[in-house]
Amino acid sequence: MTLTQSKSRDTSSTPPGPLILYFTKLQIGSPPKDYHVQVDTGSDILWVNCIECDSCPKTSDLGIPLALYDPSESSSAKKVSCDDDFCKTTMDSAGNECKVGMSCLYTVTYGDGSGTAGYYVNDYLQLIQASGDNQTKYVSGNVTFGCGAKQSGELGSSEQALDGILGLGQSGGSILSQFASEKKVKRMFSHCLSGSKGGGIFAIGEVVEPKVETTPMLKDATHFNVEMTSIDVNGETLDIPKSLLDLVKKEGAIVDSGTTLAYFPAKIYNPLMEKIMAAQPDNKPETIEKLFKCYRYSGNIDEGFPNVTFHFEDSLSLTVTPHQYFFEVEV
């Protein structure tokens, strides 16, 4: 899938600056119609705004046309009932209120407080899969997804509005898991997210070429968690208390395409910032909006501050430059 980059809708707890989200286009129904959805590895289900929704945004300042999914217009659509195997294995549909013959309902609340609720539908879906040498092919089949009848919070706003969210989490209800169970792809994915150029590629299935460096996912984790072993600032290892490092190794760090910022415990974040700002000892922070610490700096930020390198299991490392971990803010 080709990804497009845009400003993020989740600005409730983040500083002003170039926040971003990644979204792609897929096709649903017979005949197929286009829907633009945010790609989110931190949630599990795919849902799109449904025809019954009266709280859904009508326009988007992203400049893309918004669509409402109507099951009655698709010859391959079928509502999922409570006695369906998919519904029986879905945690949010396991309550006593879900009885045979009733529609299988879903409810999801996201980290920014926004939410979506509706019912499950099974319909034909197809998306473009990257297959190497800049070639593409379609991956398609019948899948079960959410028909969003009610949106709340930012999901009801026209600001950065999309048709829905493509959750690619660990659960059996994700599109990736459904395709894998049908032997259409291996239960694997990769993404190359380009922050500088915007967009990128999200590949479902195994990437054979080119060879990539990897770090294993932690077993029995709810999300996609990886083990972070250490942090370097300009080659100098950050002194992290052993007890905290052991906890980080056990719990891991969540890889989430739907979250803009990196988050750390205070016992990691504070010494990390001390190391970074040691390069500018006379630069004292100012507080804006009574919440965010900012520094005044007019020079080349990549020359004035150090690189930060995160190390993960199996010798995988990720180096972040100053212009990538600082936001430029006009005050």
Active site residues: 40, 256
Q: Are 131 and 206 in contact (CB under 8 A)?
A: no
Widest pairwise Cα distance in the chain: 69
Query: How close are the terminal C-alpha atoms of the chain, in Å?
Result: 38
* Identity of the amino acid at 166: L
Q: Are 27 and 150 in contact (CB under 8 A)?
A: no
* Identity of the amino acid at 155: L
Query: Which CA distances in Å does 205 have to 189, 212, 274?
Result: 5, 14, 41
Residue appearing with tokens 């995160």: 310
Strand partners of residue 50:
69
Q: Which residues of 241-250 are buried (b: 16+ CB within 10 A; e: fewer)?
A: eeeebeebee
Q: State the Cα torsion 238-240-245-247 to the nearest 10°.
A: -130
Instruction: Assign 171 to helix, strand or coil.
Output: coil
Exposure on the CB side of residue 290, measured as CA atoms within 13 A: 0
Radius of gyration of the chain (CA): 22
Q: Which run of H or of E encompasses 139? A: strand 136-152
